[in-house]
A = this chain, B = another copy of it.
């Protein structure tokens, strides 16, 4: 790339001016002197694409910068950096591709776009010598993707465990700390603004799955699309599950997990609720905070913690990327592109090696445990702990297994459902974050 002439302002096209875009405008204004000193040239807004340019906004910016013509703004010759904070697939995708094809540096917070079609974007960035940065797409303000891509580039990552959705973590924190049921906790999250009117994207794990795909791709140098991520949400987590977790010294979290197999060249990526020990660093991540726990062969255990959403935190991540792209433009350099050389197989959920916590409502009579245990044995699943709670008609058998494949565990549970002495399989939840 040809370096930008030193000293002239670097001009930014901002696409979208909602919660995040407004904070980007504020940071550009409030931190102008610091940003200029850190970059070596001033940043300047070339234009702001919004749906309704006439709307009055309380922002420190010339109202004449607003335009409804996003495509035209991206095509302007005086734009150096395009910041996309519209979200969703289209028109964001077309605009980002248009920017990359013109060699503009692109900063985006768009997890859905990256997780569904990241390869196309990377390819365009490479072909046209443009920068593509997207730190804000996963875990908001937490510096995570660049450390994974750059600081940990000398190590081999074996596993990534993340709490990457604030809404579900808020709900599960409330259930854990107050004993509330799922509906009650979700109502509170909605009332406090932590959950949207239609909470499905969060509650059903779609948001976390997109982030898991992005994280896994970077950590394991392999293209991962969101439809390769096994996904389960938290809507079926009950107060009884949370109490049962507490009885084992655990708490329930919605985890995004990506792990490399130690025995073959494969990676598994999944999002589901899981019990983790209270002594695990992720267990202390409360309310709407996010954190990502990384296990590296040489680094050992690392955790990155902070605010995963919100206007200002997300805008801070966007601005960190803008500074990087600006520095690159000034020095004629380019940031790291796609790294997918490892090209690992993405293994199906059934091959995942994990542990289960199973609660069974059983008839309280002789031979129940022997019958249940023989079902586990028949599927080669080894039992780690059995605990009986209550008796008579209220008897519950709680079983925690040793590690086995998810397929074997699922088949065991299916067979348990067929046992006469098992009145109901009250709950099944995976257990993570313990030594294998």
* Interface set of A (CB-CB < 8 Å, partner B): 23, 27, 31, 34-35, 37-38, 135, 141-143, 146-147, 150-156, 221, 281, 284, 291, 296-307, 310, 312-313, 315-324, 327-328, 331-334, 336, 339, 341-342
| Copy count, this protein chain | 2
In the complex the two chains form, is B153's CB within 8 Å of A147's CB?
no
Known A154-B320, A154-B322, A297-B312; 20 more pairs at CB < 8 Å: A31-B154, A37-B342, A38-B339, A142-B302, A143-B147, A143-B151, A146-B146, A146-B150, A147-B147, A147-B151, A152-B316, A154-B316, A155-B316, A299-B313, A299-B317, A300-B306, A303-B305, A304-B304, A305-B305, A332-B333
Q: Are B299 and A306 in contact (CB under 8 A)?
A: yes
Residue contact A315 to B302, C-beta cutoff 8 Å: no
Q: List 21 A-B contacts (CB under 8 A).
A: A23-B298, A31-B154, A35-B154, A37-B342, A38-B221, A135-B151, A141-B300, A143-B147, A143-B151, A143-B302, A147-B147, A150-B323, A152-B316, A154-B318, A154-B321, A155-B320, A300-B307, A301-B305, A331-B334, A332-B333, A333-B333
Determine the distance from Cα of A300 to Cα of B154 in the docked complex, in whole angstroms.
29
Tell me, in angstroms, the Cα distance from A154 to B316 when the chains sit together. Answer: 6
Whole-angstrom distance between the alpha carbons of A318 and B319 in the complex? 27
Q: In the complex the two chains form, is A312's CB within 8 Å of B298's CB?
A: yes
* Interface contact B298-A281, CB-CB below 8 Å: no
For the complex of A and B, 6 pairs with smallest distance between CB atoms: A154-B319, A333-B333, A143-B151, A298-B316, A143-B147, A302-B306
Nearest residue in B to A278 (C-beta to C-beta)?
B284
- CB-contact partner of A298 in B142, B146, B302, B315, under 8 A: B315
- Chain B nearest CB from A265 CB (Å) reads 12
Residues of B near A341 (CB, < 8 A) are 37-38
Q: Are B307 and A281 in contact (CB under 8 A)?
A: no
CB distance from A268 to the nearest CB of B (A): 20
Closest CB in chain B relative to A87 CB, distance in Å: 19
Distance in Å: Cβ of A134 to nearest Cβ of chain B? 12
Q: A301 and B296: CB pair below 8 A?
A: no
Identify the closest chain B residue to A149 (Cβ): B38
How far apart sit A133 and B35, CA to CA, in the bound complex (Å)?
Answer: 22
Complex Cα spacing A410 to B318, Å: 43
List the B side residues contacting A334 at CB < 8 Å.
331, 333
Nearest B residue to A141, CB-CB = B299
Give Cα distance in the complex from A146 to B151, angstroms: 7
- Judging by beta carbons under 8 Å apart, are B317 and A151 in contact? yes
If A305-B302, A307-B300 touch, does A327 touch B336 (CB 8 Å cutoff)? yes
- The residues of B that contact A315 with a CB separation of less than 8 Å are 298
Q: In the docked arrangement, what's the CA distance between A24 and B304, Å?
A: 24
Chain B residues lying within 8 Å of A317, measured Cβ to Cβ, are 151, 154, 299
Distance (whole angstroms) from the CB of A75 to the closest CB of chain B: 26
Whether the pair A155, B319 counts as a contact (CB closer than 8 A) is: yes
Compute how far the CA of A336 lies from the CA of B326 in the bound complex, rounded to whole angstroms: 12
Question: Bound state CA distance, A29 and B153, in angstroms?
Answer: 15
Tell me the smallest distance from the CB of A297 to a CB of chain B, in Å. Answer: 8
